[in-house]
């Protein structure tokens, strides 16, 4: 692999014109980003989004404590959402709709994904994951299943007791792959895995990564960082046959060669750090590089590309899949978006107004077909950006 000094700057295969569609508030010149009142066209700090194979789009409008849904992929800027879940109407907000927790309420929703024939959402501050067995086709369709809590009316972290295989504390990410459900149980510093899609409320997980057992929750397993430990795990993906988890608190991305089958299985390689026990932001220096990360939250996959939302550096980094995953240990990224070079990190490139190709604390990245869906949280918007597949 080339050294960073001679690495050619390559842009990710995103349209050079920037996002084709911007959802959310579009700032005019001389306007500052401020908290935005809820409406069918606005959002406040969205953390996750999911474009489904039927072209439905669902977004976690995190700051407004709601999900927004579009019947078809939006084709124009600031297009109104068709559906809402979590609030009685588009003009109201508040945790759990300022009422009691239930099957249609949300408190800081974050990760969202297709789940079998339905949808799954990490309802972070209710310390649970909600699952719809079929895709919602209307506003405030009640969830069918809850994980992390015994029922839909409870929302205490770890069920008000000790951590266990059926509890959660601030779950952030959710992912479904080949029949398995994965949850980044961030506050418990672990990833929970169900080998089959759960069928009962509060069903315990089958496997745990990041902790030695189902009853531990210490940061980095209570010791120094290792290839098995986590600090703040946030998002999950599969890159071919390889499991990928973003560990934002350790400023790295963990990759397992194939699906782990035992609790606390160590990962094979990490990106963002030179070795398994190094965990400093941007590898201990102020400016980033082509091999460093600062609080990476999101991860997406497109063909042989692995795309990481390097959140605190306000950029996307891309790696091309090599023949041997083991050759990836600490390797430099192949491409970038959102910054002019690998050494820059300012929001909207130079702390300016947002542009169609700039980023400000991007928390999520998912790619469906030729569309990259980016949760550009600091700009209170979602970008729908053409991604050229091989």
Q: How sure is the predictor about 13, in pLDDT bands with cuts at 50, 70 and 90?
A: very high
What is the structure's pLDDT at 7?
A: 47
Burial (CB count within 10 angstroms: exposed 0-12, middle 13-18, buried 19+), residue 284? exposed
Q: How sure is the predictor about 160, in pLDDT bands with cuts at 50, 70 and 90?
A: very high
Three-class SS of the chain: CCCHHHCCCCECCECCCCCCEEEECCCCCCCCCCCCCCCCCCCCCCCEEEECCCCCEEEEEHHHCEEEEECCCCCCCCCCCCEEECCCCCCCCCHHHHCCCCCCCCCCEEEEEEECCEEEEEEHHHCEEEEECCCCCCCCCCCCEEECCCCCCCCCHHHHCCCCCCCCCCCCEEEEECCEEEEEEHHHCEEEEECCCCCCCCCCCCEEECCCCCCCCCHHHHCCCCCCCCCCEEEEEEECCEEEEEEHHHCEEEEECCCCCCCCCCCCEEECCCCCCCCCHHHHCCCCCCCCCCCEEEEEEECCEEEEEEHHHCEEEEEECCCCHHHHCCCCCCEEECCCCCCCCECHHHHCCCCCCCCCCEEEEEEECCEEEEEEHHHCEEEEEEECCC
More confident residue, 7 or 22: 22
What is the structure's pLDDT at 218?
A: 97
What is the structure's pLDDT at 1?
A: 36
Q: Identify the weakest region by mean pLDDT among 44-53, 308-317, 348-357.
A: 348-357
Mean pLDDT of all residues in the chain?
Answer: 95
**Over 90: is that where the pLDDT of 26 sits?**
no
**Over 90: is that where the pLDDT of 5 sits?**
no
pLDDT of 250-276, one tens digit each?
A: 999 999 999 999 999 999 999 999 999
Name the percent of the chain lying above pLDDT 90.
Answer: 92
**Over 90: is that where the pLDDT of 32 sits?**
no
**Over 50: is that where the pLDDT of 314 sits?**
yes
What is the structure's pLDDT at 385?
A: 98
Q: Which CATH architecture has domain 4-25+36-386?
A: 6 Propeller (2.120)
pTM for the full model?
0.96
How is residue 274 written in tokens? 């030179």
What is the structure's pLDDT at 29?
A: 57
What is the structure's pLDDT at 149?
A: 98
**Over 60: is that where the pLDDT of 31 sits?**
no
Q: Identify the weakest region by mean pLDDT among 35-39, 72-76, 332-336.
A: 35-39
pLDDT of 182-235, one tens digit each?
A: 999 999 999 999 999 999 999 999 999 999 999 999 999 999 999 999 999 999
């Amino acid at each position: 692999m080339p050294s960073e000094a001679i690495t050619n700057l390559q842009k990710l295969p995103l349209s050079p014109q920037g996002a084709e569609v911007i959802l959310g508030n579009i700032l005019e010149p001389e306007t500052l980003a401020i908290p935005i009142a809820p409406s069918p066209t606005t959002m406040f700090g969205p953390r996750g989004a999911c474009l489904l194979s039927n072209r439905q789009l669902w977004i976690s409008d995190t700051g407004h404590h709601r999900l927004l849904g579009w019947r078809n992929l939006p084709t124009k800027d600031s297009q109104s959402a068709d559906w809402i879940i979590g609030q009685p109407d588009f003009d109201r907000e508040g945790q759990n709709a300022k009422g009691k927790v239930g099957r249609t309420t949300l408190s800081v929703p974050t990760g969202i994904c297709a789940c079998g024939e339905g949808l799954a959402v990490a309802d972070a501050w209710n310390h649970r994951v909600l699952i719809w067995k079929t895709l919602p086709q209307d506003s405030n369709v009640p969830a069918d299943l809850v994980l992390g809590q015994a029922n839909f009316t409870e929302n205490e972290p770890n069920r008000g007791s000790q951590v266990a295989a059926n509890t959660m504390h601030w779950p952030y990410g959710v992912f479904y792959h080949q029949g398995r459900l994965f949850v980044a149980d961030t506050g418990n510093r672990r990833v929970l895995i169900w080998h089959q899609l759960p069928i009962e409320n509060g069903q315990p997980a089958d496997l745990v990564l990041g902790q030695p057992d189902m009853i531990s929750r210490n940061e980095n397993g209570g010791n120094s960082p290792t290839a098995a430990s986590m600090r703040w795990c946030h998002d999950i993906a599969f890159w071919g046959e390889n499991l990928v988890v973003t560990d934002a608190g350790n400023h790295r991305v963990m990759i397992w060669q194939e699906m782990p089958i035992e609790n606390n299985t160590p990962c094979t390689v990490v990106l963002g750090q030179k070795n398994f026990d190094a965990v400093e932001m941007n590898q201990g220096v102020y400016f980033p590089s082509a091999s460093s990360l600062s609080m990476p939250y999101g991860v997406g996959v497109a063909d042989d590309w692995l795309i990481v939302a390097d959140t605190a550096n306000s950029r996307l980094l891309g790696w091309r899949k090599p023949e041997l995953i083991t050759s990836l240990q600490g390797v430099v990224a192949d491409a970038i978006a959102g910054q002019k070079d690998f050494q820059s990190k300012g929001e909207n490139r130079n702390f300016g107004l947002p542009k169609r190709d700039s980023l400000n604390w991007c928390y999520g990245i998912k790619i469906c077909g030729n569309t990259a869906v980016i949760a550009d949280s600091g700009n209170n918007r979602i970008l729908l950006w053409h991604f050229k597949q091989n």
